[in-house]
Amino acid sequence: MKNMFSCLFILTFILSCAGTHGFIQRYKFNATKSVLEKTIQLVLNDNPTFLKEDQIAKLNDQPGYITIFIKHEGDKYGYRIRYYGDEQLWKTSNTSELFIASARINGVGGKNDDESMSDELKFKLLKVFQERFVDLIDHRLHSQPN
């Protein structure tokens, strides 16, 4: 009986963790993943003075991830971003989501549960990401003809 409870506990723990990923913040868009992906590339191409995609990480990233850098007030912000879902969802959903998997300012930061991720640091990272990336994506999506 004791072994059965131990097995049930372990199985419950494993199932509760299956398929979950931590994130710092998520953003929803009324656009397919394909349209969002193209829009992100346009935003990156239109703003090369302060926005860059990490080309080395691009070669090594898993499908659904992108790594970008934002220059802001002399600091270098780095964000590892993940598209929500898998290829099947990307093909069928009319909406899409981005998650910030990790973020840093000049190398300081990390994931949401890292000790170096103070509330103040998280606020600063999210503010710059919103103003210098998400707002540009939203503007571009809303200015595109239907």
Q: Are 31 and 23 in contact (CB under 8 A)?
A: no
Burial of residue 24 (number of CB atoms within 10 Å: 0-12, 13-18, 19+): buried
Domain ranges of the chain: 22-143
Whole-number mean pLDDT of the chain? 82
Structure pTM? 0.78
What pLDDT is recorded for position 63?
76
- Tens-digit pLDDT profile for residues 14-71: 333 333 457 899 999 999 999 999 999 999 999 999 999 887 777 676 778 899 999 9
Task: Identify the CATH number of the domain defined by range 22-143.
Answer: 3.30.310
Say how far apart CA 17 and CA 33 lie, in whole Å: 25
